[in-house]
Structure 1
Amino acid sequence: MDDIVIGIDLGTTNSCVSVYTKGRLRILENERGERVTPSFIYFQPQGGVAFGVQAKSMSVNKPKNGIFEVKRLIGRKFDDTYNKKFRNYFPFVISSGVSNHLVISFEQNNTKIEKTPQELCSLILQELKKYAEAKLNHNVNKVVITVPASFNVTQREVTLAAAKDAGFTVLKLLNEPTAAALAYYFDNDIAENHISLVYDLGGGTFDVAILQKKTDNVAVLCVGGDTQLGGQDLDNCILDYIFEILRKDYDYDAKVDPDDKRRLRIKCEEAKKKLSLVNEAVITINGMVVKHRRIIITLTRTLFEEKASKLFKKTIDILHNCLIDSKISKQLIQEVILCGGSTRIPKIQEMISEYFGGKDLNMFVNPDECVAEGAALQAAMLSTSKKQNIEQLEMVDVVPLSLGFGRLGSEMVVIIRRNTKVPTKGFHVFVNKEKDETSFSVGIYEGERPDVRKNRYLGKLSIDGLTAAPPGQRRVTFSLNIDSNGILTAKAKERLSNSVKEMKVNYTRGDKSELEIQNSLLDAAENKEADIKFTNFVRTKQYLIRYLTRFLYNLDKMNLDYQSIQKFCEQTKKDLINMEVEQEESVKNLHEEVEAKCYLIAENYKFEYMPKKQLCRLI
C-alpha cells in the first residue's frame, strides 16, 4: 500500500485536512460531511468525548466541559502573560500543574480530570486522523502540520509531541502563511521573481509573510505576526461591549457565570459573522437577567469596527513593520494574498487595500481551507508514494547569518556559514584549556563579526561531569543542527564520560528581519580592517595563554624549580586574559618575553602537550 502523506491545518478555531493524490487537491470532510471541523472538544459529564459542531452545541449545557482555543494555550505556563490576561474569557477552568505548566480541569463521572494542552491537541489530531482514514479507506500515519510563523520552540515541540501521541509521524511543521502561498502559487501561473505578501488572519493567530517566487522555489523574505491576535479577539471586543451593557443598564455581571459567558460568546461570534454580510446584527438574550425575560441588543457594523479598530490597526502595523524590516517598498508587492476566516471582514479588506493604494486583493474562495491545501501540497512533495507525484516547488530556507560560538578572547568561531541551506548541521571539537577541567560553558552567537561581543547572543550551553585530563587532551564535540521545523539544537558530548547536554532555540527564517541581516552584513563590511586586526590579536593572545597553561602544567608535573619564571608565567597569563586589541603592542612584547624565557626550558626538558611554536601575528 502506498504511504500517503496528508496535510493538516490545526487551527485555533477550525481545523482542516487536505490531501494531494492522482493530480488532484482535495479537502477530506469529516463524518458530518463538513469541510472544516471546529477545534472544539466536549467532555460529556457521564463519560465520552465529542468533537466539532456536536461538541459546541453540547457544551451549552455544561460550559466548563467545553474546551476550545487550545492552540493558544500550548507551550504556556500558568503565569504566562497571555493566560493572565485572557483566561477570564474562557468558561472552562485553567489551573497550574506540575512545574507551573498550564492544565485545563473539568469533571467527568464525578471525578476531577486534568488535561494538558498537548493532550487536548492530540485528541483533536486523533479525530482528524480518523476522518482522513475513513475518506481514504486506509491508515494514514504521515503528515505535514501547519503552525503560526511566530510559534516558539516550546510551541513547536508541543505540537510535534501531540502529533506523535495521536499516531502521526510529522514530516514537517510548515508555517501557515507559507502554506497559503504554496496553495496560491499552485492555482495560479506566477512569473519568476514575483513578490507576494500573505495576510493571514485566522481564528486565533495573525501572520504576515513576504515571499518571492523563483524558477523552482519559493523564498521566504520576511515574516511577522502575533500568536495572540485573531478572530477570537474580535469576538471578545463584542463580548466586552455586551458585558458592559448588561452591567450598566441591567446591573448584571455576566462574567461570573460560565454558562452565561459561553452563551454570550456564541452569540457574539454569530453576530460578527453576520456583520461581514449585512450592516446590522441583533443579539437576543433570553432568561439571563432577573426581571428581564428578553434583552435585545443591536450591533451595527460601524459600532463593531469602532470596538475592534485597535486590533484592525495592529494587523496593519505588523504588516507595515514587516515591509520595513524586509527593505521592500509596498510598491514592489505585486500581489496581496488574503487567507484565514477573519479576512472576510469588509473593514479589514478595506484597510489592506487602502494601505496598498487601492490595490485589488487576491482572496481564496475558501480562506478557511487554503492553509490545509498548502500543507497537502508540501506533504505530496515529501511523499514517496507514486500517487502523490507532483511538480516540485521547493520552499527555500537558508541560514541568514553565520552561527558559531565564542571562545577564549571573545573570538567568534563559525560552525554554520550564512546562506547555508536548511536543514543543516556542523560541529567543532573542544579541548580542555586547564588540567583536570571537568566542566565548561559555551556561548552561542550569530553574526559576521569575529568579536562575538559584536554579534547576537542566542544562549549558553553548559556541560559537566567531564573526564579530568591534562591541558588539551580531553575532547568534547560541540554541534549545531537546524532542522526543517525551524529548531536550532546545540549539543555538547564527551564520548569517554558519556556526558551529554543540549539546548534548543527557535530559528525559523522569520526570526530574523531582512533589515537585521543587512545591517549585520554592512557592519562587517565597514569594519573589515578592524576585524582583521582583532583576529590577529586574539589568535596571538589565545596562543600565549594556551602555551603558558601547558608550560605551567609541565613545571608542576616535573617539579622543576624555576620560581621566578613560574611567577612570570602566572602573572602574564592573568594579564593576557583581560587585554583588549588596543593593547596589541603589550601583547607583542609579552610574546617576545615568553619566547625568551620559556622556549629553551620547554625544549630542554621535552615538555608534553606544548602547542606548535607560532609567529607573532600582530602588525
Structure 2
Amino acid sequence: MATAAATAATLLLAVSGLASGLVVPADERCHSTDNAVLGIDIGATYSCVAVYCKGRVEIIPNDQGNRLTPSWVAEGGGRLVVGEAAKEQAAGSPGRAVVHDFMRLLGKKFGDDDVQREMTRLPYAVVDMEGKPHVRVEAADGDVRVLSPEEIAAAVLAKMKETAEAHLGRTVSSAVVAVPVYFNDAQRRAISDAGGIAGLDVMRIVSEPIAAAVAYGLDNAKSDGKRVVVFDLGGETLDVTALVADNGFFDVLATNGDGHLGGEGFDQRVVNHFVDLIKRKHGRDISGDGRAMHRLRRECERAKHALSAQHQVRVEIEALLDGGVDLSETLTRAQFEELNDDLFARTMAPLRKTMADAGLEKGDIDEIIPVGGSTRIPKVQQLIRDYFDGKKEIVKVNNPDETVAYGAAVIGRHVAGDDDDKPTMLDLPSFLSDTISIETAGGAVTPMIPRRSRLPAERTHVFTTYLGRQTAVAINVFQGEGSTAKDNTLLGRLELTGIPPASVWNWGWRWRPIQVTVKVDELGDIHVEAADEGSGKSERLSIVSGEGHEHGRLSKEEIDRMIREVAEDLVEEERIVKERVDALNMLETYIVKNTAVTGGETDCEAKARAASEWLDGNPAAEKEDYEEKLKELEDACGPFMAAVHETSGLGHDEL
C-alpha cells in the first residue's frame, strides 16, 4: 500500500472549515393525435420543426411559407421578434444589434475561454451578469434589453411552437429537441430550461447525428452493426460524427468539427468578390453601406444555391447604389469553388480526425449521411467521395437541412408511444460529453472518466491525504477538459469526515489512502463514493444531470420571469400577425371584387391588377404596406365597404 500511496495522486484535503400565426384551412391541417411530440432542430443559422402525423413526418412551414426559420432574434418595440422579421430588421437598421449564432453561449460561464474568444467576433455586445454571458440588444427607441442565452433560445423555440400550432390548429406542448453532439450537460440543461420558458415540455434532448441516423431508418432492427459517418455542414459549423447503429442502439465512436466553417463563410467570400468588383468598375466601396450589403449578401446566397444545380448564374441587383448603379454579373461554379478553395479543403480535416479517433478504416464505413444545407454543394460532395477513394456513395437526400428535425420527429413519435410496431421509447445510449475529474493538490485535477466514454461508465482511483494529522477530506468533482480546477466547471463537493489520522513513521507522517469511485449512469447522473480503506468510513454524493453546475441552471424565479416575458411577446406577436392577415385579406378581397366587376382598362382595373402583381412579389409585406395599397385602390375605385357591398349583396352586419 505504501508503494501505491507514493505513486498515487495527492488529494487536496481540507484540514478545517469544511464548508398563432396564419389560419390553416381545416381540411389542410395535420390531424395528428393529441400526444403528438414536435421534433425541433434548433440550429446556429436556421431552425426547423416537424411532426409525425397521417402516417408520415411533416416538415412544418412558418408564416412566410418557408420550411426553415432563421435563428435570429431582435428587440422590436418592447417584444422579441424571431426569424425573417429579425433578419429584415437587421437590414433595415444595420447599426441595431440582432442576435444570431447564440448557441455558443448556452450553458457557459462568462469567463470561459471559448466565450471570450467568441466575444471578439460576435456582432453584438456580450456582458457579464452574475458570472454568465448575457446579450445586450437595443430597440429602435433606444431602450436597452439584456437577455440570457436561455431567453434567446426560448424565443426561437416559442417561434417553432407557434409555427406548429398554427399549422395543426391546436396547442402542442411536448417536443424532442436536437442539439450539437458536443453539447455538454450544462448546455443540454440550458436547452431544457429554454424549452420550459417557451412553454414546451422537452421530453428528450438528442444529438443531431443520432437524429439524422434515425431519419434514415437506422433505428430499425435491420441496422445490424452498421458503421455510419454523419457529415453535418450547416451555415456556421461543421460536425463530423462516426457512430454504430445496432438494432436500435447507437454508439458514438468519435466526433470532431470546425466551429467556424459553413455556408455563411462561403457566402462571404462571394460577397467580398463582388465588393472588390464594384470598387474596380465604379470606384465605389459599398462595404460601409448596410442596406446595400444586405441586398448583396442575399443575392450571393441565392446564387450559391443555384450553383448547386447549374454551372453558372447571373447575379443581378437593380439600383444597388445611389445614382442608378446596377449589379449584373455572371458567377460560375468554377469561380465559386476557386473563391472558397481553402475553406473547402478545411472540411476534410474533421473527417480525417474523426475516422482516426474512431479507429476506423475507409472500408469500414457502410453509410455516409449528409446533413445541413451546405452538403448540397457539389464540391463538398466530391471531396467526401474522393476521401473514400470513390468507393462510397453519399446517401441521396433532397433536403439535408431538414434531416435532423425529421429524425427528431420520429423520435418524438416513439417517445409519445404513437407506434404500434416499435417500442414506446427509442433506446439511445449516450456518451459522456466532458471529462469528469477530481481536484488534487495545487489546484490540479485527475481525470476519472474521460470524455466520449460510453455510458454507463465507472472508475476507481486511490488518492492519499495531504497532511499527516488530517481527519477530514473535501473531494471536489469537476467537469471539463482543463488541466486545472479553475479551468473546469465545479459539479459538486463530497466531504468525508471522522477518519483516523495517519500513523507516524521514521521520517514523519504516513499518508492515508482514500479510495474514490466515480460512476456515471445511462442518464448522465454522477455518483461519487469516497472511502477510507483502513477504518471503512465512507460517504456518497449523487449529482443529478444538470443540477450540479455552479452557474449552469437558471433559478426558478428567473425561469418564471422569462416565461411571463415570452408569453407577453407571443401575445403581442399574435396581435401583430392577426392585424397583418386582416389587412392582407381586405386588400385581396378588394382586388378580387374590383377585377370581377369592371371591364376594360379603367384606372380602377389597372390599379387593381398592379396591386395584385405587387402582392405576388411581396409575400412578406407588413400591415402598413397592405393598408397603403388599399388606400391607393380606394382613391381610384371608391371606399372598401361600398365596393364590397355592391358586388356581394350582403349588408354590413353580415360581413
Written as runs of structure 1 = structure 2, the 5 A alignment for 1:190-209 is 190-209=222-241
What's the secondary structure of 2:347's corresponding residue?
helix
Q: 1:219: how far off?
A: 2.1
Structure 2 CA distance, aligned partners of 1:110 and 1:182? 47
Residue pair 2:436, 2:480 contacting (<8 A) in 1 also: yes
- Shift of the 49–245 alpha-carbon distance from structure 1 to 2, 3 Å rule, reads same
Q: Which residue identity lines up with residue 366 of structure 2 in the other structure?
A: Q
What's the secondary structure of 1:29's corresponding residue?
coil
What's 1:141 paired with? 173
231, 242, 254: which one pairs with 2:263?
Answer: 231
112, 115, 122: which one pairs with 2:154?
Answer: 122
Which shifted more, 264-273 or 240-249?
A: 240-249
405, 427, 440: which one pairs with 2:474?
Answer: 440
Q: 1:392: how far off?
A: 6.0
Can you list the C-alpha shifts for 1:230-263, whole angstroms capped at 9, x where unaligned? 2122212222323333455545443434333333
379, 382, 388: which one pairs with 2:412?
Answer: 379
Q: Does 1:105 align with 2:157?
A: no
Structure 1 CA distance, aligned partners of 2:401 and 2:104? 21
Q: Which residue identity lines up with residue 360 of structure 1 in the other structure?
A: E
Residue pair 2:73, 2:86 contacting (<8 A) in 1 also: yes
What's 1:560 paired with? none
Q: Which residue identity lines up with residue 231 of structure 2 in the other structure?
A: Y
Q: 1:3: how far off?
A: 4.0
Which shifted more, 217-226 or 431-440?
A: 431-440
Q: 1:380: how far off?
A: 2.8
Identity, in percent, stands at 28
Q: 1:94: how far off?
A: 2.9
Residue pair 2:312, 2:331 contacting (<8 A) in 1 also: yes
What's 2:121 paired with? 86
Which shifted more, 253-262 or 142-151?
A: 253-262
Q: Which residue identity lines up with residue 29 of structure 1 in the other structure?
A: P
Residue pair 1:10, 1:16 contacting (<8 A) in 2 also: yes
Structure 2 CA distance, aligned partners of 1:125 and 1:230? 23
Q: Which residue identity lines up with residue 380 of structure 1 in the other structure?
A: R
- Shift of the 256–414 alpha-carbon distance from structure 1 to 2, 3 Å rule, reads closer
Q: Which has the higher contact order (CA 8 A, sep 6+)?
A: 2
Q: Does 1:313 align with 2:345?
A: yes
Structure 1 CA distance, aligned partners of 2:267 and 2:476? 47
Structure 2 CA distance, aligned partners of 1:417 and 1:368? 28
What's 1:351 paired with? 383
What's 1:30 paired with? 62
Structure 1 CA distance, aligned partners of 2:435 and 2:143? 54
What's the secondary structure of 1:19's corresponding residue?
strand
Can you list the C-alpha shifts for 1:339-363, whole angstroms capped at 9, x where unaligned? 2111111111111112212232212
Structure 2 CA distance, aligned partners of 1:412 and 1:131? 47
Can you list the C-alpha shifts for 1:284-309, whole angstroms capped at 9, x where unaligned? 45555465622334322112111212
Which shifted more, 323-332 or 287-296?
A: 287-296
Structure 2 CA distance, aligned partners of 1:387 and 1:52? 37
Structure 1 CA distance, aligned partners of 2:280 and 2:524? 49
Structure 2 CA distance, aligned partners of 1:415 and 1:21? 41
Structure 2 CA distance, aligned partners of 1:235 and 1:350? 19
- Shift of the 324–138 alpha-carbon distance from structure 1 to 2, 3 Å rule, reads same
Can you list the C-alpha shifts for 1:441-466, whole angstroms capped at 9, x where unaligned? 4466999xxxxx9xx99958598897
Alignment TM-score, normalising by the size of structure 2: 0.62
Residue pair 1:13, 1:68 contacting (<8 A) in 2 also: no
Q: Which residue identity lines up with residue 374 of structure 1 in the other structure?
A: G
427, 440, 445: which one pairs with 1:394?
Answer: 427
Which ranges of structure 2 fall in alignment gaps of 5 or more residues?
1-32, 503-513, 531-537, 553-655
Structure 2 CA distance, aligned partners of 1:405 and 1:468? 18
What's the secondary structure of 2:400's corresponding residue?
coil
Q: 1:330: how far off?
A: 0.7
347, 356, 362: which one pairs with 1:330?
Answer: 362
Q: 1:218: how far off?
A: 2.5
Can you list the C-alpha shifts for 1:253-274, whole angstroms capped at 9, x where unaligned? 4343433333332222122112
Q: 1:483: how far off?
A: 7.0
Q: Which residue identity lines up with residue 416 of structure 2 in the other structure?
A: S
Structure 1 CA distance, aligned partners of 2:196 and 2:399? 29
Residue pair 2:41, 2:404 contacting (<8 A) in 1 also: yes
Q: 1:469: how far off?
A: 5.6
Structure 1 CA distance, aligned partners of 2:352 and 2:389? 13
Structure 2 CA distance, aligned partners of 1:289 and 1:432? 72
Written as runs of structure 1 = structure 2, the 5 A alignment for 1:581-592 is none
What's the secondary structure of 1:173's corresponding residue?
strand
What's 1:370 paired with? 403
What's the secondary structure of 2:344's corresponding residue?
helix
Can you list the C-alpha shifts for 1:42-70, whole angstroms capped at 9, x where unaligned? 544x4555443454445532344573533
- Shift of the 235–487 alpha-carbon distance from structure 1 to 2, 3 Å rule, reads farther
What's the secondary structure of 2:292's corresponding residue?
helix
What's 1:555 paired with? none
What's the secondary structure of 2:217's corresponding residue?
helix
Which ranges of structure 1 fall in alignment gaps of 5 or more residues?
448-452, 507-619
Q: 1:5: how far off?
A: 2.5
Q: 1:505: how far off?
A: 12
- Shift of the 460–376 alpha-carbon distance from structure 1 to 2, 3 Å rule, reads closer
Q: Does 1:174 align with 2:206?
A: yes
Structure 1 CA distance, aligned partners of 2:36 and 2:458? 26
Q: Does 1:74 align with 2:105?
A: yes
Residue pair 2:476, 2:494 contacting (<8 A) in 1 also: no
- Shift of the 111–343 alpha-carbon distance from structure 1 to 2, 3 Å rule, reads same
